[in-house]
């Protein structure tokens, strides 16, 4: 009997309230944001992927709900607040150092724009305009005032985004719009009742993953991920990601480097190895 050694569980993290967002840093650390909308609380965790070591545990900024993450890099987390509750405009830059376990610096009256080799670009909102400032990454002190015309700022933002690399990531795409929708064996492997039009697909190193939904909105949808060995055209593992969900936009799985990340019922994260 052929048995696959793929997708061995490497790490598992459990949380008290729903997982809202995952961010991976260039140093292979995982930041997890969990958010309780009923209690209006948000908490942040950071783990080392290689060891599972906890670098930040259920941390909450001063405003326990109206907060978010602008940047996670070099074991520093830049948090933001909001100008006012319920509005999407960010305000405040709070640089937290994971190694020192404390805020490195804070600029509560500025808003984050981008970060590059020169420093952190921020702005302050005037009545009908914005004033742009350059901050030192280590101290938060103002070290310059860049050109404030829209063309220069937009060009700087475009260059920063162009330098962002997502080469280590593989994200699901819609199955019906993909090259895999060719009337072949994959459809035959889908569970009975699968909603093909919302099925997602992605692949890596000899494996194809089908992220499927079946059921009804009244009873709730079962969100199940199938791992398929391309060579043998067989399902080697089935993983239920959500047992009763009303949401057909899963956002519950992706690949980073050689690892499959799964969000299970919004309360757990599993990391499984993809062998080459």
DSSP secondary structure of 49-85: TTT--EEEEEE--SSSSS-EEEEEETTEEEEEEESST
Check if the beta carbon of residue 45 is closer than 8 Å to that of residue 54: yes
Q: Which of 64, 75, 70, 114 is nearest to 93 (CA)?
A: 70
Positions in the chain short of pLDDT 50 = 1-2
For residue 4, what pLDDT is reported?
A: 63
| Domains of the chain by residue range | 15-162, 169-273
For residue 2, what pLDDT is reported?
A: 42
Query: What SS3 class is residue 99?
Result: coil
For residue 192, what pLDDT is reported?
A: 95
Check if the beta carbon of residue 237 is closer than 8 Å to that of residue 262: no
For residue 217, what pLDDT is reported?
A: 87
Q: How far is CA 253 from the centre of its chain?
A: 10
Q: Which of 29, 20, 58, 69 is nearest to 252 (CA)?
A: 20
Q: Which of 113, 110, 115, 126 is nearest to 154 (CA)?
A: 113
Q: Which of 88, 70, 87 is nearest to 79 (CA)?
A: 70
Q: What tens digit of pLDDT does each residue of 62-79 get? A: 788 889 999 999 999 999
Q: What are phi and psi of 153, to 5 degrees?
A: -65, -45
Check if the beta carbon of residue 274 is closer than 8 Å to that of residue 6: yes
In the sheet where 68-73 sits, what is the strand order?
A: 68-73, 76-82, 90-97, 102-107
Q: What is the architecture, at CATH level 2, of domain 15-162?
A: Beta Barrel (2.40)
For residue 62, what pLDDT is reported?
A: 79
């Amino acid at each position: 009997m052929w048995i696959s050694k793929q997708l061995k569980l490497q790490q598992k993290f459990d949380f008290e309230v729903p997982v809202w967002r995952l961010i991976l840093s260039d140093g292979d650390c995982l930041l997890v944001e969990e958010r309780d909308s009923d209690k209006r609380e948000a908490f942040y965790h950071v783990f080392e992927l290689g060891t599972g070591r906890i670098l930040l545990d259920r941390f909450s900024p001063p405003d326990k709900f109206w907060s978010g993450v602008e940047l996670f890099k070099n074991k520093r987390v830049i948090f933001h607040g909001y100008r006012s509750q319920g509005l999407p405009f960010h305000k405040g830059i709070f640089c937290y150092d994971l190694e020192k376990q404390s805020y490195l610096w804070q600029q509560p009256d500025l808003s984050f724009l981008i970060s590059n080799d020169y420093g952190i670009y921020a702005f302050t909102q005037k009545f009908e305009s914005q004033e742009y400032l350059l901050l030192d990454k280590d101290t938060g002190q103002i070290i310059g005032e860049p050109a404030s015309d829209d063309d220069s700022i937009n060009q700087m933002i475009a260059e920063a985004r162009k330098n962002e690399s997502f080469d280590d990531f593989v994200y699901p795409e819609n199955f019906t719009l993909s090259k895999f929708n060719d009337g072949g064996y994959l459809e035959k492997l889908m569970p009975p009742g699968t909603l093909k039009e919302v099925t997602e697909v992605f692949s890596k190193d000899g494996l194809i993953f089908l992220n499927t939904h079946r059921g009804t909105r009244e009873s709730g949808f079962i969100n199940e991920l199938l791992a398929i060995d391309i060579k043998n055209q067989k399902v080697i593992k089935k993983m239920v990601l959500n047992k009763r969900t009303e949401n057909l936009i899963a956002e519950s799985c992706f690949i980073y480097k050689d690892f499959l990340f799964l969000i299970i019922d919004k309360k757990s994260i599993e990391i499984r190895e993809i062998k080459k």
